[in-house]
């Protein structure tokens, strides 16, 4: 899990299938940042892209503005927007693993690059499960905001950001804000560390875009002014 002000990168070691957590300097953020980097030298580049997309989150309401995110992305040097999408769907009495699978499918479709690293997808699964854990507990990490709560209804926001740099992305880094706007009707209390099933209707809006940026030749040189 990424804590406020601390970016976590996961790098696949040479010749192995495991992963190594790496921590680097971070900025105040309202994203749960999930970085999968073959070369940790590009952690700063991933963090700088996260800082750009942070500007699309209203600091008071914590609402993510997709239009502003797209405008910001179009102004990033040596980069191109691959895809941008907003999806809304409703499910009734859905097991959370099923919702997570559906969200991963959407993430994969919008990412714009086929990522074969199993560790990245496990990381994404864990991050998406956290979004459906106790929202109040996750608010401490600043990436979840409970906007409304009534006896039979809970409305919350969850902001995730993914960044990938490996053999699949070549000489580029792919970054992707993945914003969830979730309303649970008749929500069942969390069972254990992760909520396993939504008892009532679940309405989800996903706002996301993917951006591909060339890796800079000198990773220690600032990318943005």
Q: What is the pLDDT of residue 21?
A: 30
Instruction: Name the one residue in this structure whose structure tokens are 């989150």.
Output: 57
CB atoms within 10 A of CB 122: 13
Pairing of β 144-150 and β 172-185: unpaired
C-beta separation of 222 from 106 below 8 A: no
Cα–Cα distance for residue pair 220/58, rounded to 1 Å: 30
- How many other β-carbons are positioned within 10 Å of the β-carbon of residue 148? 9
Q: Which residues pair with 25 in a beta bridge?
A: 6
Mean pLDDT by 10 residues, the chain (225 residues): 32 30 51 94 95 95 95 96 95 86 94 90 91 70 81 89 94 96 75 61 94 82 49
Domain annotation for the chain: domains and CATH numbers: 6-214 (3.40.198.10)
Question: How many C-alpha atoms does 197 have within 13 Å on its Cβ side?
Answer: 5
Can you give the pLDDT at residue 138? 66
Specify the pTM.
Answer: 0.81
- Would you say 43 and 35 are in contact if contact means Cβ atoms under 8 Å apart? yes
pLDDT for residue 189:
57
| Both structure tokens of 190 | 């969390």
Determine the pLDDT at residue 219: 56
Burial of residue 80, with CB atoms counted within 10 A of its CB: 0-12 exposed, 13-18 middle, 19 or more buried: middle
Output b/e per residue, 171-182; b: 16+ Cβ within 10 A. ebbbbbbbbbbb
Output Rg (C-alpha) for the chain, integer angstroms.
17
pLDDT the model gives residue 139: 61
pLDDT, residue 18, reads 27
């Amino acid at each position: 899990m990424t804590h406020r002000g601390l970016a976590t990168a996961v790098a696949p070691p040479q010749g192995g299938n495991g992963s190594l957590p790496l921590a680097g300097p971070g900025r105040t953020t309202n994203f749960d940042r999930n970085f999968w980097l073959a070369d940790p030298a590009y952690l700063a580049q991933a963090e700088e892209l996260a800082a750009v997309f942070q500007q699309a989150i209203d600091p008071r309401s914590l609402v993510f503005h997709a239009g502003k995110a797209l405008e910001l992305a179009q102004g990033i040097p040596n980069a191109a927007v691959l895809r941008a999408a907003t999806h809304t769907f409703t499910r009734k009495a859905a097991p959370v693993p099923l919702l997570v699978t559906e969200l991963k499918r959407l993430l994969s479709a919008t990412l714009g690059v086929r990522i074969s690293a199993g560790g990245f997808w496990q990381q994404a699964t864990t991050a998406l499960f956290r979004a459906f854990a106790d929202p109040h507990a996750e608010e401490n990490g600043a990436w979840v905001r409970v906007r409304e709560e009534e006896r039979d209804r809970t409305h919350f926001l969850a902001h995730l950001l993914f960044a990938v740099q490996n053999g699949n992305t070549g000489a580029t880094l792919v970054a992707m804000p993945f914003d969830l706007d979730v309303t649970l009707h008749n929500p069942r209390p969390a069972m254990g560390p992760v909520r396993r099933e939504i008892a009532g209707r679940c309405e989800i809006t996903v706002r996301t875009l993917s951006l591909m940026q060339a890796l800079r030749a000198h990773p220690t040189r600032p990318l943005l002014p």
